[in-house]
Structure 1
């Protein structure tokens, strides 16, 4: 299957899997008041921290150890990862049961016990679902990946619509999420079983946990950056304000969603690509291409999303049109730092990333605590911008220290200058345009930026020539045939 077809399948699958709430946002906000939506968002925060712990860094271990392996060793590693995930899921179930009174008392809104159970079901199953879906990506089974995600999304959307029309409120969202996750896991179990030797293999557990545990701690630190802001908004300024912030954050998440066709291919293959003769240059070029794509998507959304919010969302949520611009800048920084830190993953330890995340978390917590009570939403935006700028600089510095890659920086500088110019021009002419006019002009400006970047050869011209990503896909397949069985740090294998 060609690179473009795989990217299309990945795009459809991930948009359907993660984009249900985004695609249905105008409908959902018309059915839920800001108070209800904010209450739901505060409950989702509980799921976010739970997902980090339940996943236990097994996906990163799959990337690092299963990717370069083959044959029986590969199957044993997959069995080991899945077995550990099952144990973590069972342990998490008991932990939630024991902490139920504490959770009901401490959450920033009053919930019923059954609502905690409903949000816990997809959270507990997330680690088990993520492993077979990741294996599909690693084996380039993009079509199958897409089918499973579309199935889940359709079931979830139909359940949400049916139960919201029946007047179930936020329970409709919770029930739909739980049922669709159970269905997806059942559908994936046969594929997962075929990838393993026998369930219960634990021979590589020490090695896997040594690598994955810092990721768990690192991601908990990341939650302090991207989750504690919403929790403190709910606590300090109320769930109504949280609802506006959450709407803006969900629109800003579209940037990451649109990056998924690229990152779903890139993240599982970047370690193995390093072992190729031209691996360092290919990795640098692909990471920079992803960074430039992220900047372009952010500019496009800054030009179009605010007018979309004004046009299609109830007036109670219109402040989100201003907040989303700042959060898009934040997500652009996050995307760049995620792509430009390959050196932190090249060895058998991920502690470098963990310490950077925790330092940034400390900065974020301090900023939220001091500023949110005085500047509410905008405090969260400015703190996030400062934290992610710091995170990008630290990741880049230490990544280059551990594994220097030949990045070409002229491309992202051009993207930033062109994007800032077009956004400034849109601000100048928007007062004389209607909302529909602003949306149309934003789309035209985005198209002009795309044409310019293709003309400058910052983006490949997929119309007149075959995208070089096709060759990269084929070279990735070649790597998988020639990779060594050893699990030594990739950095030691570089020429």
Structure 2
């Protein structure tokens, strides 16, 4: 547990700094880009989202799943080496295909994209598979310090270059140049790290397990893209770029709900299969997931009430309308992350078809409601469509996961805490001015913590597992 605390602290520091960089760049981007340009940038970045899925090929998820089957670190290194080699091979093939078929690919986008912009987008995503495998391996290895250094160096470099190019008048293309440069630099560093730590193998002894597991997961990830970014493509045909810009700003802040769970995710997700297989693993998993759900709830409250304040402080008045969407987008992300915490049973099968079917159903519902609600209601219609689809997806995820892993979650007590938090958050959002909304969070968040303690929702911690200096400070003997 001491190692887990140390790793989580590293991830927390990294996420705080990364989000701070993102918040600094929000006023920079909105100052140098008009709302129409910012809306166009949102649509282009959604291409990065879907392109990254193809380049990653779901290999990071498969690596986390199958490393848990090996008993020694040498065997685990061999698994990672093969996944790294496949990621590198996929990158080369897809870059060649992307360059050869750039014209028909750009024709699929709802925004007109120049050849140079497309090549920059391709450069920004071409090493996503290698990066995903490497970052997952770092988390499995507990190399949180290296993970932190590599992530922060990319973010700082990208932010500095992006700001410089915006000041020089490069506009949207400047942001794309910065993204591509930072991604290529981090990808090169990751290949060096992987080569030294576990090697990069092109032997592919596990190609069959990769194909069976990764194929459905890739389709599942594409379905998740529909639930995450595809609404921008539909919105582009029915609303103005300025409306998409407001939605984009609200989305950047609403996404903090998921981001605030990431330190927990980074520690828990690569290890969850190993923990579940241990003695008393189901009960321990329930304890840890309860903590994750409480973090999601607290993140939703903080973002819903802090987001409108950030919009009014960090952006020009033209973007203040984004405040109206933040709480609903935060709720979307809270529902999404709830599903991710409950999904472990879906991944115990070795074919990956359970999450694929669930995500396909969610994506189908999302597409249906996007084309039904967006033409009539615009951005609110997109948010409502995603809420409906995500809610159905979470219910299905829990039902299927429970079949394969009957983990005794504390839903009744968690539901009580959630109901109180949601009601108080809605009351604060509707009655307080954006500049004082954070005061509501100051009251609600401690209440969530108090209820969690009283209802015994926090994981039990053995004092003997804490570092000795902390035990002495807390007088735990």
Q: Output the TM-score relative to the length of structure 2.
A: 0.92
Q: Which residues of 2 match residues 367-378 of structure 1 at below 5 A? A: 367-378=369-380
Offset of 1:291 from its aligned partner?
A: 1.4
Residue 357 of structure 2: which of 355, 358, 361 is its match?
A: 355
Structure-2 separation of matches of 1:304 and 1:422: 14
Q: Which residues of 2 match residues 33-182 of structure 1 at below 5 A? A: 33-69=34-70, 70-182=72-184
2:277 alignment partner in structure 1: 275
Q: Secondary structure, in 3 states, of the residue corresponding to 1:316?
A: helix
Q: Secondary structure, in 3 states, of the residue corresponding to 1:407?
A: coil
Q: Secondary structure, in 3 states, of the residue corresponding to 1:107?
A: coil
Q: Secondary structure, in 3 states, of the residue corresponding to 2:410?
A: coil
Structure-2 separation of matches of 1:102 and 1:21: 33
Structure-2 separation of matches of 1:438 and 1:74: 48
CA offset digits 1:220-261 (Å, max 9, x no partner)? 111122222111001221322111111111111111111011
Offset of 1:268 from its aligned partner?
A: 0.1
Contact 2:343 2:398 in 1 (8 A): yes
Instruction: Classify 1:106/1:353 alpha carbon distance in 2 versus 1 (closer, same or farther; 3 Å).
Output: closer
Report whether the alignment pairs 1:436 with 2:435.
yes
Offset of 1:19 from its aligned partner?
A: 6.4
1:486 alignment partner in structure 2: none
Contact 1:343 1:403 in 2 (8 A): yes
Q: Output the TM-score relative to the length of structure 1.
A: 0.89
Residue 451 of structure 2: which of 450, 453, 461 is its match?
A: 453
Q: Which residues of 2 match residues 128-277 of structure 1 at below 5 A? A: 128-197=130-199, 199-277=201-279
Residue 312 of structure 1: which of 305, 314, 320 is its match?
A: 314
Report whether the alignment pairs 1:31 with 2:29.
no
- Structure 2 segments unaligned to the other structure (5+ residues): 468-477
Structure-2 separation of matches of 1:325 and 1:39: 23
CA offset digits 1:267-295 (Å, max 9, x no partner)? 00000111111111111221222112101
Instruction: Classify 1:364/1:472 alpha carbon distance in 2 versus 1 (closer, same or farther; 3 Å).
Output: farther
Contact 1:51 1:123 in 2 (8 A): yes
Structure-2 separation of matches of 1:83 and 1:262: 28
1:327 alignment partner in structure 2: 329
Q: Which residues of 2 match residues 296-307 of structure 1 at below 5 A? A: 296-307=298-309
Contact 2:291 2:458 in 1 (8 A): no
Offset of 1:435 from its aligned partner?
A: 4.4
CA offset digits 1:11-39 (Å, max 9, x no partner)? 23345457643442122111111111111
Structure-2 separation of matches of 1:57 and 1:247: 28
Contact 2:39 2:242 in 1 (8 A): yes
Structure-1 separation of matches of 2:378 and 2:431: 30
1:383 alignment partner in structure 2: 385
Instruction: Classify 1:149/1:442 alpha carbon distance in 2 versus 1 (closer, same or farther; 3 Å).
Output: same
Give the total of aligned pairs.
Answer: 465
1:477 alignment partner in structure 2: none
Offset of 1:417 from its aligned partner?
A: 2.2
1:10 alignment partner in structure 2: 11
CA offset digits 1:440-492 (Å, max 9, x no partner)? x234224432442354255649xxxx95699599xxxxxxxxxxxxxxxxxxx
Contact 1:6 1:142 in 2 (8 A): yes
Q: Secondary structure, in 3 states, of the residue corresponding to 1:176?
A: helix
Structure-2 separation of matches of 1:17 and 1:300: 17
Contact 1:303 1:446 in 2 (8 A): no
Contact 1:422 1:445 in 2 (8 A): no
- Structure 1 segments unaligned to the other structure (5+ residues): 474-495
Structure-2 separation of matches of 1:67 and 1:17: 29
Structure-2 separation of matches of 1:469 and 1:331: 34
Offset of 1:427 from its aligned partner?
A: 4.3
Structure-1 separation of matches of 2:462 and 2:20: 28
